[in-house]
A and B are shown apart, each in its own frame.
Chain A
Amino acid sequence: MLQLSNVSKQFFDPGRGPVQAVDDVSFAAEHGVVAIVGANGAGKSTLLRLICTLLQADSGSISIAGHDAVDEAELVREKIGLLSPGTKLYPRISGRELLEYAGSFYNIEKNELSQRIEQLTDQLGMAEIIDQRCEGLSTGQSQRINIARCMIANPPILILDEPTTGLDIEAASELINMVQLMNDGERLILMSTHIISEIEELADRVIVLSNGKVVEDCPRHHLGEGMQLKHRIRGLINPAIAAEPTPQSSSSITEQSAENKHAD
Chain B
Amino acid sequence: MTDTHDTRREMPLGLAQRGYTGVIQHLSAKDASSALSDIELESRLIELGFVEGARVEVLHEGLVGRDPIAVRVDNITIAVRRREAMAIIVA
Q: Do A and B bind each other?
A: no
B interface with A by C-beta (< 8 Å) = none
A interface with B by C-beta (< 8 Å) = none
